[in-house]
Structure 1
């Protein structure tokens, strides 16, 4: 691939353009808002000069509701040898294109499983896709050359290709992406009118659950509007669990010992099913999640403290598998939770104590 056109210079489009430009591909940036294209060009994502001829690959990175129209316009104009989109739903745009009676041999639907709470070209980074799954949904008529161009794009972005059926993809993202966004927003919405005293008690748990609730509502309305059925199906199952859990909690307040026992059983059941589901989420390098031990260290909110604690862990010859920071409310300090292999926890704790760190249990 020597040349590409990126249509839509938001977070995903600009990030892909940055990755391609950084690896020597000439990228032409196209957007209905010329200012966004100019911003992306200023970031080094490519040029906003008009196309002078067909490019190797056109990447359509517009909202799902506009994807089929943008693809059809580009294909009719013949701007590229191959066309793909990066919309977060795949079945709908493909069916819209089929209804337009276009030759779809030059098209493949794709979806990079990566993003941020922020949107727009200024949020873009060339490494946004590194190590992340990038779904490809070829059809029986997809030309081999176009599939190879898509695979080259994924490789240049250093992502991991995953081939799926379009409708199976939409059901999967409803479960692992779209529904979590709604549930996170619903939990965060409880905080809107909460008493200030309650909000000040927020810890790492509520921060974890509500992190993605900071996402752009307009963007998510577009996404959910393109995949409503599968998302509603997943939410229906969650609603059934919620109803059962509410009934179980009411039973726990009952004076009847038998009802309380039933309530305990129901609550334990949903928690255990949650344990089982969580255990299936891939861990480091895509393997099954490991049972790490946490070494919690008190850290002050000062420049260089994180670097110092990682350097001291290196002196102990201990590999940090994961890390989490829990900030203390109203204080210039917090807890760094260092996740390590169980056999390394004692060594790391001892070394950090010797280096003057305060270990918390």
Structure 2
């Protein structure tokens, strides 16, 4: 691949452009917002100059509702030899492009499974897609050369290609991406009117569950408008579980011992099903989830402390598999939770204690 056109210089488009430019591809940037396009160019994502002829691959990095129109316009003027989009919904845009008379041989729908809570070119990074799944939804009509070009782009972005049917993809992301966004937002909305004393008690649990509720609302309206059916189906099932859980919790309030037992069984069933579902989420590097042991270390909030604790873990010969930080309320300190292999936990604990760290059980 020698040249590419990226239409849409938001988070995803600019990140793709940065990755391609960093690997020697001449990238041309296009966006109806000139300020956003200039920002992306200033970041080194590419040039604002239009290409003199067809590029190797055109990337439509626009909301799902605008994919068909954007691709149709690009194909009508022969902007590229191949065309792809990166919208988070695949079935609808392809059907719209078909209805508009678009060339499906030169088009491949894709979806990089990566993102951030922030949007726009300033949030973009060249390594956004590194190690992340990138879904491709080819059809029997897709030209082999176009498929190869897209695979090369995915490789240049250091992502992992995953081939799926378009409608199967939409059902899948409805479950693992779109519904979690709404559930997170619904829970976070409870905080908007909560008493200040309650909100001040927020810990890592509520931060984890509501993290994605900080995402851009306008972007999510575009996404959910393009995939409402699968998300509504999942939320309907979720609502049934929620109603049953509410009834179980009400039963726990009962003075009747039998009802309390039934309520406890109902709540326990939800929690255990949750355990089973969580265990299916891929672990490190996409492998099966691993059971790590946590070594919690009290750490002060000052420069260099994180670097020091990681260096000390390295001196102990222990690989830190994952890390979380829980900030203390009202104190310039927090707990760094180092997740390590169970056999390494005693070694790391003893070594860190010897070096003066305060370990919390």
* Whole-Å separation in 2 of the counterparts to 1:42 and 1:91: 35
| Pairwise CA distance, 1:144 | 0.2
> Paired residue for 1:335?
335
> Paired residue for 1:326?
326
* Whole-Å separation in 2 of the counterparts to 1:15 and 1:139: 26
* Whole-Å separation in 2 of the counterparts to 1:319 and 1:50: 48
- Aligned to 1:298, the other structure's residue is in SS state strand
> Paired residue for 2:185?
185
* Whole-Å separation in 2 of the counterparts to 1:286 and 1:192: 36
Q: Deviations over 1:294-329 (max 9, x none)?
A: 000000000000000000000100000000000011
Q: Deviations over 1:114-144 (max 9, x none)?
A: 0000000010000000000000000110000
* Whole-Å separation in 2 of the counterparts to 1:188 and 1:102: 41
* Whole-Å separation in 2 of the counterparts to 1:4 and 1:58: 6
Equivalences for residues 9-20 of structure 1 within 5 A: 9-20=9-20
Q: Given the alignment of the two structures, is residue 286 of structure 1 paired with residue 286 of structure 2, yes or no? A: yes
| Pairwise CA distance, 1:103 | 2.0
> Paired residue for 1:24?
24
Q: Deviations over 1:76-119 (max 9, x none)?
A: 11000000000000000000011012221000000000000000
Structure 1 runs of 4+ with >2 Å offset:
none
> Paired residue for 1:230?
230
Equivalences for residues 31-110 of structure 1 within 5 A: 31-110=31-110
Aligned length: 361
Task: Please report the TM-score for the alignment, with normalisation by the length of structure 2.
Answer: 1.00
Task: Please report the TM-score for the alignment, with normalisation by the length of structure 1.
Answer: 1.00
Gaps of 5+ in 1: none
- Aligned to 1:44, the other structure's residue is in SS state coil
* Whole-Å separation in 2 of the counterparts to 1:69 and 1:205: 42
- Aligned to 1:296, the other structure's residue is in SS state strand
- Aligned to 1:190, the other structure's residue is in SS state helix
Computed over aligned residues only, the root mean square deviation of the Cα atoms, in angstroms, reads 0.5
Q: Deviations over 1:218-237 (max 9, x none)?
A: 00000000000000011111
| Pairwise CA distance, 1:195 | 0.6
- Aligned to 2:162, the other structure's residue is in SS state strand
Gaps of 5+ in 2: none
> Paired residue for 2:305?
305
> Paired residue for 2:128?
128
